[in-house]
Amino acid sequence: MKATKYRDYQPGEDQLALFPDISGNTVNGLGQKLRKRPTPLYWFDPDTIPHGKLQKYFYENAGKLAHLRKETSIDQHKRGPTTLADLAAEKQEDTPENWSRRIKEFALANESDLIGITRIKDEWIYEGHEVDDKWIIVVGIAMDQRELAKGPPREEDVSSADEVSKQYNRAARASKAVANWIRSKGWPADARTGPMAGDLIMIPAAIESGMGQLGKHGSVINDVYGASFRLASVTTSLPLVADSPRDIGVDDFCSHCQVCTNTCPPDAIFPEKQLVRGEMKWYVNFDKCIPYFNDTLACGICIAECPWSLPGVAPRLTQKMLRRREKKSRL
Ligand code: SF4
Ligand code: SF4
């Protein structure tokens, strides 16, 4: 496997010196029995989080390759309007079913590749943050796995970083378009775009809205794009209909697959589910991942190497897993 040659990776003294006293896994709630809201960990204002110095190290590192990049996620002109449209004076009325259908049709015709709707849960909102809206519309934006697989980004080839930024920018445009469409009907809506974290974590919302299931590598796996997609979202008070979570066979597959655990250069991916804020789930060791992630300008090996992410594989894999499950249930 291509990344195994990095397996003896050791973080440099410069990064080790930036670690705070508290482990990122403790901040993240690893081992915590109680369900609770997440604590801001990374991709926030670096002066407000314990691991802010490491985040600044990432920015400095990214800056070194900036002259080689075709696209970065700070290219504001590629991220859609900087402010959302004013609310239309008149609030239009329709049924929740119709609003949901119309939003999905609009999103899929305006740069979104995946869309799901669910009710916001309090446990998704970061401590110290507030979200008044009841609904979240999650937008998925496909990435070209062949570009990702050229990573991790480095002097000789920054294609994978360009691809990630390009799709984050499309995700920003797509979510702002959805938010503005809702606002044009007189209903409040906010676009929430990456790569910076916002007020709430999007991964559980994506799973709850049926977009896919959590993979061992800590990213959502979808039955069309595998893990090769990025998320953005829109929150709104417009009454909608929630989609349902879907079992597409990811858990069964991950239980027996070790591609990401074997490939991750700093050996950061736990082979078994962990207790995190009251829930058993796949989990990535933050303290092990982040130095490599920082050194390689966002790594992404686990997403690119995941079998589900290979072009055309996910639809076949999900069918295979579900068929196998059905067969077992008949025995
Ligand atoms: S590489 Fe394998 S174990 Fe890791 S997330 Fe993908 S399917 Fe699951
Ligand atoms: S992103 Fe983190 S978990 Fe994934 S392969 Fe890289 S170092 Fe490992």
**CA dihedral of 105, 106, 109, 111, whole degrees rounded to 10:** -120
**CB-defined site of ligand 1, < 6 Å:** 215-217, 253-254, 257, 259-260, 306-308
Residue 276 near residue 260, CB atoms below 8 Å: no
Task: Compute, in angstroms, the gap from residue 218 CA to the centroid of ligand 1.
Answer: 9
Encode the chain (331 residues) as per-residue pLDDT tens digits.
444 555 678 899 999 999 999 999 999 999 999 999 999 999 999 999 999 999 999 999 888 888 999 988 878 889 999 999 999 999 999 999 999 999 999 999 999 999 999 999 999 999 999 999 999 999 999 999 999 999 888 889 999 999 999 999 999 999 999 999 999 999 999 999 988 999 999 999 999 999 999 999 999 999 999 999 999 999 999 999 999 999 999 999 999 999 999 999 999 999 999 999 999 999 999 999 999 999 998 899 999 999 999 999 999 999 999 999 888 888 7
Those residues whose C-beta lies under 8 Å from the C-beta of residue 300, and which sit 6 or more positions away, are 148, 151, 152, 160, 164
Pocket test for ligand 2, best of 28, 264, 267, 309 (most atoms within 8 A of CB): 264
Task: Compute, in angstroms, the gap from residue 310 CA to the centroid of ligand 2.
Answer: 17
Task: Compute, in angstroms, the gap from residue 43 CA to the centroid of ligand 2.
Answer: 16
For the chain, the structural domain boundaries read 2-330
pLDDT score at 3: 45
Token pair of 52 as six digits:
């802010």
**Number of Cβ atoms within 10 Å of the Cβ of 168:** 24
Beta bridge partners of 214: 220
Tens digits of residue pLDDT in 15-43? 999 999 999 999 999 999 999 999 999 99
Tens digits of residue pLDDT in 238-286? 999 999 999 999 999 999 999 999 999 999 999 999 999 999 999 999 9
Give the CA count within 13 Å in the CB-facing half-sphere of 240.
28
Write down the pTM of the prediction. 0.95
Q: Which residue, by CA, sits nearest to atom 3 of ligand 1?
A: 254
| Chain centroid offset of residue 114 CA | 13
In the numeric block, the tokens 């670096």 are attached to: 46
